[in-house]
């Protein structure tokens, strides 16, 4: 559904994105994360056809980025999305439906169905009198007015309160369940971890790692085994009447088991702790900054 090959964007002598290559399958949720200045927004704007790449190729739904055919297949939500504040949600969304040549009856049904799903009640209030969360819901509805196959969302929950944030993230997940292909960036790694099928980590304009969460953990994270024994073994710490040892391999677990048996004890519990997405991200960001 989305193909990106050797994407590059320069501004004068500054390279904002360099050599990015990735693909997104139909119905997939693909998250792009990275520190400020990593090139996330620039990448998403090139996907949406709002910026022309300096080099490389972008294909969205079988069309080159920026073409009229592609834009009819795509919905874009920028991080900052000013609205026409003198309009109401209904007049604003009908305005954009007209731009996409959506028939009046279809537009009216689509608008109300989407606003129902977003739980937006005040549809005749001027946008200038609405909260940031309400405005964000209207902006999301605008991105769906042409019933696109692909959605590109830049920080969809940016600046929202926790309740509205969770609502927007859940709604994004529901869109994927409906078959939409979604690419989005977010600073909240918990949300990325909870709904993304695959993740790209960007740093200094490059995609430094990508894959499913388990793949990223296996390649870039760490696994620790917390082994609890009934007796003290070398390197263990007493906790709540038991002894805890921490090792990084199953060979270490077997060594502790043997040590416990030699001391007339046994292993009573083993708990596995894996790196979180945040830990993987921070490790890659820090290592990239040092090179």
Domain ranges of the chain: 2-218, 223-274
Bridge partners of 229?
243, 267
- Dist CA 232 CA 262 (whole Å): 11
131: closest CA among 99, 93, 153, 163? 163
Predicted local distance difference test score (pLDDT) of residue 158: 80
The model's confidence at residue 287, banded by pLDDT at 50, 70 and 90, is: low
Q: 193 vs 10, which has greater pLDDT?
A: 10
Bridge partners of 272?
225
Six-digit token pair at 66?
């920026």
Contact 68, 86 (CB under 8 A): no
148: closest CA among 52, 79, 77, 199? 77
3-state secondary structure 251-279: HHHHHHHHHHHHCCCCEEEEEEEECCHHH
Among 195-199, 210-214, 272-276, name the most confident range. 195-199
Query: What's the full length of the chain, in residues?
Result: 291
Predicted local distance difference test score (pLDDT) of residue 127: 96
Residue 288 has pLDDT above 60, yes or no: no
Which CATH entry fits the domain spanning 223-274: 2.60.120, 3.30.870, 1.10.10, 3.30.1490? 3.30.1490
Q: Stretch 220-236: mean pLDDT, rounded?
A: 90
Six-digit token pair at 211?
């894959």
The model's confidence at residue 52, banded by pLDDT at 50, 70 and 90, is: very high
The model's confidence at residue 74, banded by pLDDT at 50, 70 and 90, is: very high
For the entire predicted model, the pTM comes to: 0.79
Residue 289 has pLDDT above 70, yes or no: no
- Dist CA 156 CA 77 (whole Å): 7
Average pLDDT of every residue of the chain: 90
- Dist CA 208 CA 165 (whole Å): 28
User: How do residues 240-253 score in pLDDT, each as one tens digit?
Assistant: 999 999 998 889 99
- Dist CA 235 CA 21 (whole Å): 45
Residue 290 has pLDDT above 90, yes or no: no
Strands 29-33 and 14-24: unpaired
Intrachain domains 2-218 and 223-274 with the same fold? no
- Dist CA 90 CA 76 (whole Å): 19
> ∠ CA 178-179-183 to the nearest 5 degrees?
110
Q: Stretch 159-163: mean pLDDT, rounded?
A: 83
- What is the CATH number assigned to the segment(s) 2-218? 3.40.50.300
77 CB-contact burial (10 Å; exposed 0-12 / middle 13-18 / buried 19+): buried
């Amino acid at each position: 559904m989305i193909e990106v090959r050797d994407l590059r964007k320069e501004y004068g002598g500054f390279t904002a994105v360099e050599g990015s290559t990735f693909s997104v399958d139909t119905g997939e949720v693909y998250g792009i994360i990275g520190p400020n200045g990593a090139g996330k927004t620039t990448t998403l704007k090139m996907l949406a056809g709002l910026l022309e790449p300096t080099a490389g190729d972008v294909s969205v739904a079988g069309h080159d980025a920026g073409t009229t055919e592609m834009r009819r297949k795509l919905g874009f939500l920028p991080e900052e999305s000013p609205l026409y504040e003198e309009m109401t949600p209904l007049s604003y969304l009908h305005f954009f439906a007209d731009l996409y040549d959506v028939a009046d009856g279809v537009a009216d049904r689509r608008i109300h169905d989407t606003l129902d799903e977003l739980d937006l009640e005040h549809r005749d209030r001027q946008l200038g009198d609405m909260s940031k969360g309400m405005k964000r819901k209207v902006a999301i509805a605008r991105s769906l007015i042409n019933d696109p196959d692909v959605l590109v969302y830049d920080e969809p929950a940016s600046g929202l309160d926790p309740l509205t944030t969770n609502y927007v993230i859940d709604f994004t997940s529901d869109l994927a369940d409906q078959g939409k292909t979604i690419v989005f960036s977010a600073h909240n790694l918990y949300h990325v971890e909870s709904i993304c099928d695959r993740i790209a980590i960007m740093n200094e304009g490059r995609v430094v790692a990508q894959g499913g969460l388990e793949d990223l953990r296996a390649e870039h994270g760490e696994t620790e085994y917390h082994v609890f024994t009934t007796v003290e073994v070398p390197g263990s710490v007493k906790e709540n009447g038991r002894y805890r040892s921490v090792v990084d391999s199953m060979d270490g677990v077997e060594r502790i088991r043997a040590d416990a048996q030699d001391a007339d004890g046994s292993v009573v519990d083993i708990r596995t702790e894996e790196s979180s997405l945040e830990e993987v991200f921070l490790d890659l960001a820090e290592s990239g900054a040092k090179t």
